[in-house]
A and B are shown apart, each in its own frame.
Chain A
Amino acid sequence: MNVRLGLFVVLCAAACGPSVAEDFVTTAPIGEVVALPLVDLRADVNRDGIVELDNATDDADEETWDAQHGAVFLANIDDDLQRCPGTGTDQTLPLCNDASDDQLNGPDDLLDLAPLKTAGWANAGDGVTGGISVTPAGHVRIFKKTGADVAMFDEAMRLTTDEVRAGVELYLEGKDIVRDSESWDGYVNVTLSIYGAGATLTDTVRMRVSPVMTFHHLTPAETSYVTRVTRDSWSSSFVSSLRTLLNATPEASPLTEIPGNDIWAQDFFETGYMAMPAPNGQQHVIRTAYRSAGIETNGSSPLRAAGQIVFTKFRGKDSAGLQAYTTQQNPDSVSLNSYGNTETIPPFKLGDVDYPLGRLLRGDIPSFAPDPVLAKVFESQKVQPHVYIDTSWLLVGHVDETISFLKAPNARGWVLLINDAAMARKMLEDQVAAGNGNVQMFIGKNWYNDRTGAPYSATKTISQVLADTDVMARSAAAVAEIDAQLQIIKAATGLTEAEIIRVPFLHFTAYGYSIAYQPGFVNGFAAGLTDFVAPDPFGPKIGGVDIFKKDFEDKLTAIGYHARWIDDWDLYHTAEGEVHCGTNAARVIPSAKWWEGGR
C-alpha cells in the first residue's frame, strides 16, 4: 500500500497528531490544500502485463504474493544480443548471459525486465530524495530510465527531487533462477524510500521470480531435435525417416539436426521456459534448456560434452542455458542425470489440489539417485512438484523406458502409456495356442550389425522367446517393478485403469539389470497432438499383420492418435534406447500461467 493520505490541509497537521506529513517539507503555502507525501512504488501486481499508476489493482495488497495477485520477474539469463562466446569450458560457458553484466543488452533486453514505476509526488519539497532497496539482497538488479537511457540504479544511488516529483520508470532484472529454495525462495521485496527532513517513508512491493518449467506432451512440438551423426548411414536413415514422418503431421514442426556423436538427443538437454505476464493476457517467455548433469570426465569440462549445446547453440534472444551439478555424484547412477529420466506428468487435478502445469516424474530412490544439486534445482521450482519412482532395476534407469503420456479425449485430458510385459507374454502365448509358435520375430534384425552381414541374428520364433529363461525371468521382474511404479503414479495422480494404455513388450537381462528385449514402443516421440512416432517392434506377423503394431495402433486410434512407426533397431534399440531417447522437442508454451497455480 502506498503512503498517500489524500488531500490534507497543512494547517491541520499539528492538530491531527503525529503524521508522516509532519516530517516533510512541502512547497505549499500555509492554508492551501495540497497533496501530502506520495510514496508509491508500482509493479504489475494485477498481472496484466502493464504497470498502471491509475489502476488500484496494481497497488492493492502489493506487499503480499499469491495465486490472485503479485508481480513477477524473470531471471534474465538469455543473450539477446548473442554476444556470449560460442565456445568455452563447463566453468566459463554458464558465466555469460544478459544478467552477468550491469548493462542493458539491447532494446529486446528491456522486455525481459519487470517494469516498476514510482508515482510522482509533485509537491515534494526541495531536498527530498528517494532510493530503491531490495531484500534479500543479491538476487536482482534495478535499472532506471532517464530520457531514452536505461541504466543500473543501485542502492547507493538516489532519485533526485525532480525525479521524486515526476516519478520514474524502473526495471527489475533477475540475476538467476532459484537453485535452492532453502537459501532463496524466489521472492524479493522492493522498497521505495523517500528521504525528507526526518523520517523515511517507504512503499514495498513483493515480487517473485519465474520458475523454470518443463514441457508436458499436451502441447505439440514447436521445434523437434535429433542428432545427425556424420557419415553414419543408420543415423542418416533415421533422421530422414523422422523428417518425413514429422512433415506428415498436422503441426509439421521443423526438425533441427544436432551434429555430433551423442545420439541420445533426449538425454543431454531438457527444454523448458520461464514466463511473466505480458499485455493482452499473454506470457513473455524466455525459453530455457538444462544441460545434463552427468559427469563424464575430470578437468574443467567434466559434464557430458554434448550438453554444452544449451550454451553454444541454444542461448540467444529469449533463450537461456542452465547447468547445475556436483562432481560428488554416485558413479553408479550417473545415467539418471539424462533427461530421459525427467518427464512431465501432464496437468491434472486430484481432489481439491490442482496441478495446472503437471508434475515432474523422475527415477530417484535414496540408494540410486541423480545429481543432488540438479535435483534441488528442480524441486526448488515448486510449480511442478516432483513424483519419484524406482528405476534402479533398469540398466539405463530412465522413466521414459517404461512410461509416456499422450493427450486424450477423456475427462482428464490425457492417458498414461505404460509398459506391460505380462500382456506381451500373454499375446505370444495366445499365438502359440493358436498354432503360431513357429512364427518368427525380429526378422532380419541383428543384435550387433557390423554392416558386413555378420551372423549376430536376433531372429527368434515365438516359442523360442517364451522358452528363454532369461527373457521370462527379467520380464516377470519388470512386471513387478512397473506395478510398483504405477502404484506411485496412481497415488500421485488418481489415474484409473481406463486412463492407462498398456504397451506390451518383454525385457531381457544385462549385467543383472533390465532392458527392453523387443523395441520398447512406449519410448516414442509425441511429435504433435495426433502423432506418436514409435519404434517398429518387428513383432510376429500373423496373417501379414504385426500383432504388437496392431494392438498399439488400435489403442492409439481410440484416443485420436496415429502410431508412426520408424526403424530404430540398429541405431537405438541395440544401444539401449529407442525413439524418444534419440529425439527432443521445444514445445508450444502451455496456456496455464504458473503464477495462478497457487504454489
Chain B
Amino acid sequence: MKTLVLMVSLMSSVALAEGQVASLRSHVSELDAHKRGRWTTAIKPALLALGAEAVPEMMAQLDLGHDASWSASAAEAWDASLLEAIGSYSDARAKPLFMRVLSDAGQPFIVQRAAAEGLAKLGDLEALAPVIDRDAVVEGIGSLRKLATVELLAAELAKKPGEARAKHLVHALGETGNAWAWKTLRARGEEQAVRNAAAKALVQAFVTYGGEVRQAASNALLVVDSAAAPALIAQAKVSGPAAELDALQTRLNANPLR
C-alpha cells in the first residue's frame, strides 16, 4: 500500500512536472523578448523549482529541438538552461546527453559550457580532459572540485596560452577553489589541497600575465582565499614583479570574503 501511494505520488508529480516544463517551453519567446541581458535567466531556476523528478522530461525536451519562431538567443537559453538544470541534479542518466552535446563542437558556447558543467557535477574528469582545449569546457569544469581538475587546468595554463584562454583557465581555477562553494559541500577532504593548488596556479598566472588576466587572477585568489597564498606570493617575489605582488598581498590581507 505504501509502495502504491508512493508510485501514485511520483507519477502525479512527474505528470505535473511534464506539464510545467512544456509550459515553460511555450513561453521561451516571451521570456527572451523581455530579457535585459544576453539570454533569459528565468528558465533554469524555474526548472529547478520543479525538482529532480522533472529531469526525464527536461531531457526529453532537449530532444524536441527548437521552435521555428525562436530567436537564436532563445534557443541557446533553452538548451543551456535545460542542461544546467539537469546537471545540477548530478543524475548519471544524463551523461550520454552531455557527451552528445559535447561531441558537436559547433554547439553554442553556453550550451557546450552547460554540458561540460553537467559532466563536472558528475565528477567525470575523464570525459572532460580530452576536450579541455575548448574554452567552453574550461568554463564548465570548475564545479568539479578535485585536485586532478586543478592539475589539469594548471597544466593548460603552463602552456602560456593567449590572454583570452588564460582568462578562462583562471576563472575555472577560481571556481574549483571557490571558498564559499567548498563550505556548502559534504565531501571536503580535498578542500585545502584544491584551494592551495589553485592558489599556486593563480599566483603563477598573476606573475606570467598582465592586464585582464592578472586582474582575473587577483580576483580569483580572493575567491579561493587559500592559506598558502602569502607564502606563494613571497616566493613569487624572488623573480616576479615585487610591487604588484605586494599590492596583491595587501588586497588579500583585506579579503572582503572573510
Using CB atoms and an 8 Å cutoff, list the residues of chain A in contact with chain B.
261, 263-264, 267, 332, 334-335, 338, 340, 365-367, 390, 394-397, 420, 422, 425, 446-448, 450, 452, 454-458, 466-470, 472-473, 475-477, 479-481, 483-484, 487, 508-513, 515, 574-577, 581
Once the chains bind, are A473 and B175 in contact (CB under 8 Å)? yes
Known: A395-B41, A473-B175. 7 other contacts (CB 8 A): A366-B211, A396-B36, A476-B180, A479-B222, A480-B220, A481-B219, A484-B215
Q: Contact partner of A512 among B140, B212, B251, CB < 8 A?
A: B140
Given contacts A479-B222, A575-B35, contact A473 B41 (CB under 8 A): no
Asked if B161 is at the interface of the complex by the 8 Å CB criterion, the answer is no
Within 8 A of A (CB), among B162-176: 163-164, 167, 174-175
**Chain B residues whose C-beta falls within 8 Å of the C-beta of A576 in the assembled complex:** 35-37, 40-41
Given contacts A456-B46, A484-B215, A484-B219, contact A472 B41 (CB under 8 A): no
Render B22-51 as a binary contact track against A, CB cut-off 8 A, 1 for contact.
011001000101111111111111101110
Give the interface size bracket for B toward A.
Answer: 35 or more
Given contacts A476-B180, A484-B215, contact A510 B256 (CB under 8 A): no
Once the chains bind, are B181 and A469 in contact (CB under 8 Å)? yes
Assembled-state Cα–Cα distance A367/B213 (Å): 11
Asked if B16 is at the interface of the complex by the 8 Å CB criterion, the answer is yes
Using CB atoms and an 8 Å cutoff, list the residues of chain B in contact with chain A.
16, 20, 23-24, 27, 31, 33-46, 48-50, 77, 80, 84, 88, 110, 113-114, 139-140, 143, 163-164, 167, 174-175, 178-181, 183-185, 211-212, 215, 218-220, 222-223, 251, 256-258
**What are 19 A-B contacts with C-beta separation under 8 Å?**
A264-B36, A340-B36, A395-B37, A397-B37, A447-B45, A450-B27, A454-B23, A455-B16, A456-B45, A480-B219, A481-B219, A483-B251, A487-B251, A511-B80, A512-B139, A515-B41, A575-B36, A576-B40, A577-B36
Once the chains bind, are B164 and A367 in contact (CB under 8 Å)? yes
For the residues of A in contact with B, the DSSP-based class is mixed
Once the chains bind, are B31 and A510 in contact (CB under 8 Å)? no
Distance (Å) between the CB of A396 and the closest chain B CB? 4
Given contacts A477-B174, A479-B257, contact A395 B39 (CB under 8 A): yes
Smallest CB-CB separation from A334: which chain B residue? B38
Q: Contact partner of B36 among A267, A476, A513, CB < 8 A?
A: A267
Q: Contact partner of B39 among A397, A457, A510, A581, CB < 8 A?
A: A510
**Chain B residues whose C-beta falls within 8 Å of the C-beta of A334 in the assembled complex:** 38
Assembled-state Cα–Cα distance A515/B237 (Å): 36
**Chain B residues whose C-beta falls within 8 Å of the C-beta of A511 in the assembled complex:** 38-39, 41, 77, 80, 84, 110, 113-114
Once the chains bind, are B38 and A477 in contact (CB under 8 Å)? no
Assembled-state Cα–Cα distance A509/B41 (Å): 9
Once the chains bind, are A470 and B40 in contact (CB under 8 Å)? no
Q: Contact partner of A472 among B180, B222, B256, CB < 8 A?
A: B180
Smallest CB-CB separation from B121: which chain A residue? A469
**Chain A residues whose C-beta falls within 8 Å of the C-beta of B180 in the assembled complex:** 425, 472-473, 475-476
Once the chains bind, are B46 and A446 in contact (CB under 8 Å)? yes
Distance (Å) between the CB of A161 and the closest chain B CB? 65
**Chain A residues whose C-beta falls within 8 Å of the C-beta of B43 in the assembled complex:** 448
Distance (Å) between the CB of A335 and the closest chain B CB? 5
Once the chains bind, are B181 and A472 in contact (CB under 8 Å)? yes
**Chain B residues whose C-beta falls within 8 Å of the C-beta of A469 in the assembled complex:** 143, 181, 184-185
Assembled-state Cα–Cα distance A456/B140 (Å): 25
Once the chains bind, are A447 and B42 in contact (CB under 8 Å)? yes
Once the chains bind, are B31 and A365 in contact (CB under 8 Å)? no
Distance (Å) between the CB of A367 and the closest chain B CB? 6
**Chain B residues whose C-beta falls within 8 Å of the C-beta of A508 in the assembled complex:** 45
**Chain A residues whose C-beta falls within 8 Å of the C-beta of B256 in the assembled complex:** 420, 422, 479-480, 483
Assembled-state Cα–Cα distance A447/B44 (Å): 9
- Top 4 A-B pairs, shortest CB-CB distance: A396-B37, A448-B46, A473-B181, A476-B180
Q: Contact partner of B33 among A261, A335, A396, CB < 8 A?
A: A261
Distance (Å) between the CB of A464 and the closest chain B CB? 11
Assembled-state Cα–Cα distance A207/B36 (Å): 42
**Chain A residues whose C-beta falls within 8 Å of the C-beta of B220 in the assembled complex:** 480
**Chain A residues whose C-beta falls within 8 Å of the C-beta of B20 in the assembled complex:** 454-456
Assembled-state Cα–Cα distance A362/B10 (Å): 50
Once the chains bind, are A473 and B178 in contact (CB under 8 Å)? yes
Assembled-state Cα–Cα distance A582/B205 (Å): 40
Assembled-state Cα–Cα distance A396/B256 (Å): 24
Assembled-state Cα–Cα distance A469/B222 (Å): 17
Given contacts A473-B175, A511-B80, A512-B110, contact A575 B40 (CB under 8 A): yes
Determine which residue in B27, B88, B184, B258 has the highest number of CB atoms from chain A within 10 A of its CB, and name it.
B184
**Chain B residues whose C-beta falls within 8 Å of the C-beta of A340 in the assembled complex:** 36
Determine which residue in A332, A450, A476, A581 has the highest number of CB atoms from chain B within 10 A of its CB, and name it.
A476
Once the chains bind, are A483 and B222 in contact (CB under 8 Å)? yes
Distance (Å) between the CB of B141 and the closest chain A CB? 11
Assembled-state Cα–Cα distance A483/B37 (Å): 22
Distance (Å) between the CB of B106 and the closest chain A CB? 17
Once the chains bind, are B36 and A447 in contact (CB under 8 Å)? no
**Chain A residues whose C-beta falls within 8 Å of the C-beta of B223 in the assembled complex:** 476-477, 479-480
Determine which residue in A367, A420, A425, A477 has the highest number of CB atoms from chain B within 10 A of its CB, and name it.
A477
Once the chains bind, are B38 and A332 in contact (CB under 8 Å)? yes
Once the chains bind, are A367 and B167 in contact (CB under 8 Å)? yes
Smallest CB-CB separation from A573: which chain B residue? B42
Distance (Å) between the CB of A462 and the closest chain B CB? 14
Q: Contact partner of A477 among B31, B40, B218, B219, CB < 8 A?
A: B219
Smallest CB-CB separation from B142: which chain A residue? A473
Smallest CB-CB separation from B117: which chain A residue? A512
